[in-house]
Chain A
Amino acid sequence: MHAYANPTRFLKLARPLTPLLLVSGLLMVVASLAWGYFAAPPDRLMGETVRILFLHVPAAWLGMGGWTAIAIASLVELVWRHPLAALAARGAALPGMVFTAICLVTGSIWGRPTWGSWWVWDGRLTSMLVLLFLYFAYIGLTQAVDREGASSRIAAIFGLVGAINIPIINRSVVWWNSLHQPPSLTMGKSSIDPEFLWPLLGSTLGFSLLFGGIVLARMRTLLAQRQTEARLRRKAAAAEAVV
């Protein structure tokens, strides 16, 4: 991992990997969503609305996965001071926020026909909404830190502290009474029928590949912006020295 803390080495790996992840993710998402929409049967209890499963679950997984990535990158930044760790954390923030919002919106759309309500203030929904607000705060904080030239360690500490919400989201349906169903997929176990499980695994893998491609694209954007700024600053300093 230390080897890839070097921007040149990172770019050598990221350049071919970014389009590869984006295209393979997109193809996998299209195939598995088409499978889920057209070929999966209606559920005995949820009817046709079960098809929302193939969007909602990957979005929830990536919303939480995005913050987990921020927390790991923040830890790496604080402990080993990797130059790319801060970029990795910032790169995961926007896609994590978008997938958290998709999870909340698709969950709300799913809730209306199945629960009879667009929204309930239970543990799972509320902790997921808190995650969205954490993303807003993190993105705002990183922008302020970059603008003011303050230490990025503040954002890294926020990224680590915010990770406390991830196990709360995960265990919320076990700890508190909820309209939301308990976990159907755990390590090595599934209570989902294979007719729904395979398109679900396909869409989760596809969205994860897309997420990886988007994170790499965001990291390359941030790296290029910093390199441009550094170059322009050096040129301005050299011009001043000549005058």
Chain B
Amino acid sequence: MREGLDQMSFVVAAYAVTIIATLALAGWSWLAMRRAEAKRDEAKRK
């Protein structure tokens, strides 16, 4: 450990980046899938 940096702020930053990116990816993938399948079902009905 150099310069007496606060280690926990680096840990918190790494956790925040990972959790936000993972949740955004999973949530967006799920919503995009639901939208695409709804659109396909609608095209089938028409």
| Interface residue ranges, A against B (CB under 8 Å) | 18, 22, 26, 29, 33, 37, 46-49, 51-52, 55-56, 59, 94-95, 98, 101-102, 105-106, 109-110, 112-114, 116, 207, 210, 213-214, 217-218, 220-222, 224-225, 227-228, 231-232, 235
Contact = CB atoms under 8 A, between A and B. Distances in A.
B40 to A, nearest CB: 4
A59 B43 CA distance: 38
A37 B15 contact: yes
Contacts of B13: 109
A181 to B, nearest CB: 16
16 contacts: A46-B1, A51-B11, A56-B14, A59-B18, A110-B14, A112-B10, A113-B10, A213-B26, A214-B25, A214-B26, A217-B32, A221-B37, A224-B39, A224-B40, A231-B40, A231-B44
Interface in B17-39: 17-19, 21-22, 25-26, 29-30, 32-33, 36-37, 39
A47 B6 CA distance: 11
Interface of B: 1-3, 5, 7-8, 10-11, 13-15, 17-19, 21-22, 25-26, 29-30, 32-33, 36-37, 39-40, 43-44, 46
Contact of B29 (A29, A102, A221): A221
Given A59-B18, A110-B14, A113-B1, 11 more contacts: A18-B33, A46-B1, A47-B1, A48-B7, A52-B10, A52-B11, A214-B25, A221-B32, A228-B39, A232-B43, A235-B46
Contacts, number: 105
Given A110-B10, A214-B25, A231-B40, A224 B18 contact: no
A157 to B, nearest CB: 26
Contacts of A95: 25, 29
A109 B17 contact: yes
B17 A113 contact: no
